[in-house]
């Protein structure tokens, strides 16, 4: 609340006034081929946009490059430049990426619509037809309806959807790559936790944070992650000693040895049938919630039916009973970790200092004044929530309980997937471990599955105006289908799913179809998503 469409920052540290519809953190039109010259000797194979909570420095060969900031869309870091580059950016440069810009986001990745930004809201470009809304509503000066691009990697999604970048990096803590992909009609992939390096990625909630990739087609992402040939090793294989959560080389080898598809990318053009035949896809009953838009429900069942009829896929109803508690658990755990992570922004170690605040002996006034002015409202809300749930009187009721729910969510997934989670021994399941409300509903699926097939979000892209007037709780609701995989650290991908012509009305568009896989089943997940899309 309190946000306005034509957002003007009141923060004195904001260095530039930004355009409303900008998905890049820049006032200028994207100077695509002058910003960055790529790595000497490496031919440019694709253009890359990078979410602005991922550290970048100009490549050594570029002369025209300004020193790029890494702002996290926070007034606090409006002038911050990183002395080093994120590993993932370096890895992609080596594979032929040419950077075209830093993209707008919700401050520090906290949000679902990319409206909580010091640079103003991201919207789907007016030049694009309004994809998924059939309502007449608010509009910009040209009479164009403005839609949410999803968040928090909304800028990255629009950069890809509009063709300004072939690939974009985002971060996915609870759905921030998948949700914007769903709203803008592109592909968004969240890898297994610990697969892609997070060194140089500004942490939001460490136990959940992943770096994700967005592109217009699955194949592009698949090639980067799984790898082509010996010259082009997959990102999955690269352990990063500088990221303590990066899976060790030995663990990677062990995981890959019990998984298919890590032998490198092979073109399977026209061979979707072979990839899909005999596959068992689970449709989680708990995802068919009352709030699910009818058009998405119809498209979801049509997609399942088509896979069954034309590719011999087995569709199996499954139950993930802890799903209904996952959202609440996420919004306890993520803010708790955020409140701890953001403690370093005090105007002394990190962040702009409030120029007017005098420092007392302990620096308390300076801290408070700098943090009061430096953070946006949503970030402050998360810090308050997190500090509360970690406080001694609330800890047991909130943080500890949420951790228990997280275990149950993980167990639900382990239970329905045919593959074991290579990081855990197969957990024995006991009804007495479940909260009473859950234990009553013993509707476990009869059969184990390869992947789960479900919508990415319960609604189509909402109008920006409606989003601005939402309560925070309404916004959190958008993440209901994406947070379970995040809590369990599982790979998941959102691909565009056509709406059914009968129900879509006169503006056909797409919704996001989500595939979720068992831990480190990313290679197979990507080839199945490629075949499905």
Q: Sign of torsion, CA 56 58 60 61?
A: positive
Is 163 strand, coil or helix?
Answer: coil
Residue closer to ligand GLN by CB (options 358, 473) is 473
Please give the residue whose beta carbon sits closest to ligand GLN in the complex. 176
The correct pick among 56, 59, 112, 352 for binding ligand GLN (CB under 6 A) is 112
Closest separation in Å from C-beta 336 to ligand GLN: 12
Sheet of 210-215: strand order equals 97-103, 46-51, 167-172, 210-215, 187-190, 492-498, 510-517, 451-455, 280-284, 314-318
Q: Give the x-and-dash track for 231-270 against ligand GLN (CB under 6 A).
A: ----------------------------------------
Element (H, E) at 295: helix 294-311
Residue closer to ligand GLN by CB (options 334, 460) is 334
Binding status of residue 176 toward ligand GLN by CB under 6 A: yes
Annotated catalytic residue within 51, 148, 153, 190: 51
> Using CB under 6 A, which residues numbered 429 to 488 contact ligand GLN?
479
Tell how far CA 395 is from the center of its chain: 27
| Residue span binding ligand GLN (CB under 6 A) among the ranges 104-112, 118-126, 231-239, 277-285 | 104-112
Q: Roughly what angle, to the nearest 10 degrees, separates helices 294-311 and 522-532?
A: 90
The tokens describing 233, both together, are 């090793």
Element (H, E) at 171: strand 167-172
Binding status of residue 171 toward ligand GLN by CB under 6 A: yes
> Using CB under 6 A, which residues numbered 340 to 399 contact ligand GLN?
none
In which residue are the tokens 């040209």 written?
142
d(C-alpha 515, C-alpha 42), whole Å: 34
Q: Give the x-and-dash track for 291-320 against ligand GLN (CB under 6 A).
A: ------------------------------
The tokens describing 202, both together, are 């500004």
Annotated catalytic residue within 176, 192, 339, 494: 176
Closest separation in Å from C-beta 160 to ligand GLN: 17
Neighbouring C-beta atoms of residue 36, cutoff 10 Å: 25
Residue closer to ligand GLN by CB (options 260, 377) is 377
| Residue span binding ligand GLN (CB under 6 A) among the ranges 105-113, 298-306, 387-395, 405-413 | 105-113
First to last CA, the chain: 37
Binding status of residue 52 toward ligand GLN by CB under 6 A: no
Which of these, 164, 56, 74, 163, lies nearest to 111 by C-alpha position?
Answer: 74
Binding status of residue 172 toward ligand GLN by CB under 6 A: yes
Binding status of residue 173 toward ligand GLN by CB under 6 A: yes
Q: Could you confirm whether 176 is annotated as catalytic?
A: yes
Annotated catalytic residue within 26, 133, 152, 486: 152
| Residue span binding ligand GLN (CB under 6 A) among the ranges 87-95, 108-116, 181-189, 447-455 | 108-116
Phi, psi of 68 (to 5 degrees): -75, 140
Q: Could you confirm whether 51 is annotated as catalytic?
A: yes
Phi, psi of 160 (to 5 degrees): -75, -45
Q: Are strands 210-215 and 187-190 parallel, antiparallel or unpaired?
A: antiparallel
Residue 424 carries which DSSP code? Answer: S
Residue closer to ligand GLN by CB (options 175, 261) is 175
Closest separation in Å from C-beta 294 to ligand GLN: 24
Binding status of residue 174 toward ligand GLN by CB under 6 A: yes
> Using CB under 6 A, which residues numbered 203 to 222 contact ligand GLN?
204
Residue closer to ligand GLN by CB (options 75, 109) is 109
Q: Could you confirm whether 136 is annotated as catalytic?
A: no
| 161 and 108 Cβ atoms separated by less than 8 Å | no
In which residue are the tokens 């024995």 written?
428
Residue 26 carries which DSSP code? Answer: S
Show which residues are catalytic. 51, 152, 176
Residues of this chain that interact with ligand GLN (CB under 6 A) are 109-112, 152, 171-176, 204, 334, 479
């Amino acid at each position: 609340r309190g946000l306005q469409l034509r957002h003007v920052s009141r923060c004195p540290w904001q260095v530039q006034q930004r355009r409303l519809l900008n998905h890049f953190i820049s006032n200028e039109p994207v100077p695509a081929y002058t910003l960055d010259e790529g790595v000497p000797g490496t031919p440019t194979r694709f253009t890359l946009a990078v979410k602005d909570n991922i550290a970048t420095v100009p490549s050594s060969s570029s002369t025209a490059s300004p020193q790029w900031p890494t702002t996290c869309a926070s007034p606090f870091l409006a002038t911050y430049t990183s002395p080093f580059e994120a590993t993932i950016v370096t890895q992609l440069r080596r594979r032929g990426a040419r950077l075209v810009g830093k993209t707008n986001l919700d401050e520090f990745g906290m949000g679902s619509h990319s409206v909580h930004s010091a640079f103003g809201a991201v919207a789907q470009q007016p030049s694009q037809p309004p994809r998924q809304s059939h309502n007449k509503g608010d509009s910009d000066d040209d009479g164009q309806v403005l839609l949410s691009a999803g968040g928090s990697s909304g800028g990255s999604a629009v950069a890809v959807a509009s063709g300004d970048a072939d690939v974009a990096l985002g971060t996915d803590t609870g759905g921030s790559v998948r949700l914007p992909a769903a709203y803008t009609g592109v592909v968004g992939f969240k890898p297994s936790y610990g697969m892609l390096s997070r060194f140089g990625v500004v942490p939001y909630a460490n136990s959940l944070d992943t770096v994700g990739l967005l592109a217009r087609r699955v194949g592009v992402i698949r090639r980067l992650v799984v790898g082509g040939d010996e010259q082009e090793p997959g990102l999955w294989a690269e352990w990063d000693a500088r990221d303590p959560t990066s899976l060790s080389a030995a663990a990677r080898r062990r995981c890959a040895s019990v998984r298919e598809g890590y032998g490198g990318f092979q073109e399977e053009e026209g061979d979707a049938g072979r990839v899909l035949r005999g596959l068992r896809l689970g449709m989680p009953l708990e995802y068919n919630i009352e709030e699910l838009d009818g058009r998405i429900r119809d498209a979801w069942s049509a997609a399942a039916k088509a896979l069954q009829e034309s590719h011999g896929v087995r569709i199996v109803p499954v139950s993930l009973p802890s799903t209904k508690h996952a959202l609440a658990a996420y919004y306890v755990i993520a803010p708790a970790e955020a409140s701890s992570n953001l403690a370093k922004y005090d105007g002394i170690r990190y962040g702009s200092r409030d120029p007017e605040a005098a420092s007392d002996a302990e620096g308390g006034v300076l801290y408070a004044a700098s943090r009061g002015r430096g953070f946006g409202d949503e970030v402050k809300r998360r810090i308050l929530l997190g500090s509360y749930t970690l406080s001694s009187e609330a800890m047991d009721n909130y943080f500890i309980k949420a951790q228990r729910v997280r275990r149950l969510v993980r167990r639900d997934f382990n239970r329905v997937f045919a593959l074991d989670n290579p990081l855990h021994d197969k957990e024995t399941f006991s009804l007495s471990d479940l909260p009473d409300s859950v234990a009553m509903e013993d509707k476990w699926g009869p059969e184990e599955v390869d992947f789960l097939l479900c919508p990415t979000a319960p609604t189509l892209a909402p109008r920006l105006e409606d989003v601005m007037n939402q309560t925070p709780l309404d916004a959190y609701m958008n993440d209901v289908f994406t947070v379970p995989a995040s809590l369990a650290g599982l790979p998941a991908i959102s691909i565009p799913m056509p709406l059914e012509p009968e129900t879509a009305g006169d503006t056909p568009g797409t919704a996001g179809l989500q595939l979720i896989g068992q831990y480190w089943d990313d290679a197979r997940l990507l080839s199945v998503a490629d075949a499905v899309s």
